[in-house]
Amino acid sequence: MLASKTQGERMKTQAERAKAFRALHERKGAFLIPNPFDGGTARMLEHMGFEALATTSAGFAYTTGQPDNTVSREATLAHLRAVVEAVDLPVSADLGNGFGDEPGTVVETLHLVVETGVVGGSIEDATGRPEQPVYEIGRAVERIRAAAESMRKLSFPFTLTARAENFLVGKADLADTIRRLQAYQEAGADVLYAPGLVKREDIAQIVRSVNRPVNVLGGMPGFSLTFEDLAALGVKRVSVGSALYHAAKAAFVRAALEMRERGTFSFAAEGASAPNLSELFRK
């Protein structure tokens, strides 16, 4: 784990993870990049054999009792450090809009994030403001270009993902989404991502329209495509955002309701068959 290493050893490990992460994007076929919401779930996913992880801003926010996009940058950095130090896998960070409108703020955030040991990160074009939910495309491109130019100066290949948020903010404009992703590609993004797409033909059109690896968000309401379906379309990377958190929450709610409404504890039998977490976390 990174926490017990010297600074030089941590930098070497980070560089090795960065190269391994980039190689996943360059090899043939697609890969899964699930989203843990804390160090424990990261360790569990590593134990299950996944090759890389990506954090989820929403999933982490919910663990703290806050809505998405309200957690501070300082708390996010501490969370990233905890996830990175829990595993020996490459970790990519969900950074929202980079914690500010200005390109300089995005660059500052990325450099702070690099210090946590992550080897990739995503910057989205959502503003967080209802009156203008996504940045004007010129400003959005400026932000990605500044981020890409800064990350290229690092001593290892940081994988920058640019996100077009139209479909998540209620603007189901595929043409504008494609135009944005193409512009982010030209600005230097390594991976392109338009969360919220559920239709096979829309995803296929995105993949055909760019020449960078494409990430797709699985597990959305109305999403019926399988991993094999997405790989056949040419998708490179499949993540699930906060879906694992919601799955865990649903089990928690079912168990709590059983206790309160029926006075029984049958849910514990299912938990008893799970892996011994104390043993897993000691490894």
Taking only the tens place, the pLDDT of each residue in 83-103 is 999 999 999 999 999 999 999
Q: Tokens 């708390």 appear where? A: 75
- Nearest residue to 270 via CA among 257, 254, 246: 254
Concatenated DSSP letters of 140-177:
HHHHHHHHHHHHTTSSS--EEEEE--GGGGT---HHHH
Q: Is the pLDDT of residue 179 over 90?
A: yes
pTM of the predicted model as reported, rounded to 2 decimal places: 0.95
DSSP state of 90: -
Single-letter residue type at 178: I
- Which residues lie across from 124 on neighbouring strands? 163
Per the domain annotation, does 199 fall within a domain?
Answer: yes
Q: Is the pLDDT of residue 275 over 70?
A: no
Q: Is the pLDDT of residue 4 over 80?
A: no
Percent of the chain with pLDDT over 90: 89
Q: Is the pLDDT of residue 271 over 90?
A: no
**What does the chain come to in residues?**
283
Per the domain annotation, does 258 fall within a domain?
Answer: no
Beta strand 191-193 with 120-124: parallel, antiparallel or unpaired? unpaired
pLDDT band at residue 241 under the 50/70/90 scheme: very high
- Nearest residue to 87 via CA among 21, 176, 140: 21
pLDDT for 279 = 76
Beta strand 91-94 with 31-32: parallel, antiparallel or unpaired? unpaired
Q: Is the pLDDT of residue 74 over 80?
A: yes
As for how many domains the chain has, the answer is 1
pLDDT for 3 = 66
Per the domain annotation, does 276 fall within a domain?
Answer: no
Per the domain annotation, does 266 fall within a domain?
Answer: no
Per the domain annotation, does 204 fall within a domain?
Answer: yes
Q: Is the pLDDT of residue 283 over 70?
A: no
Give the CA distances from residue 229 to residues 20, 29, 121, 212, in Å, rounded to whole numbers and listed in that order.
25, 12, 25, 19
pLDDT for 5 = 75
Q: Where are the beta strands (DSSP E) in 49-88?
A: 53-54
Per the domain annotation, does 117 fall within a domain?
Answer: yes
Residue 48 burial (CB count, 10 A): 9
What is the torsion angle, in degrees rounded to the nearest 10, for the CA atoms of residue 59, residue 62, residue 64 and residue 69?
80
Per the domain annotation, does 167 fall within a domain?
Answer: yes
Percent of the chain with pLDDT over 70: 97
Per the domain annotation, does 83 fall within a domain?
Answer: yes
Cα(56)–Cα(38) distance, rounded to whole angstroms? 9
User: Could you tell me the CATH number of the domain that includes residue 52?
Assistant: 3.20.20.60
Domain containing residue 178: 2-242
**What average pLDDT score do residues 163-168 get?**
98
pLDDT band at residue 229 under the 50/70/90 scheme: very high
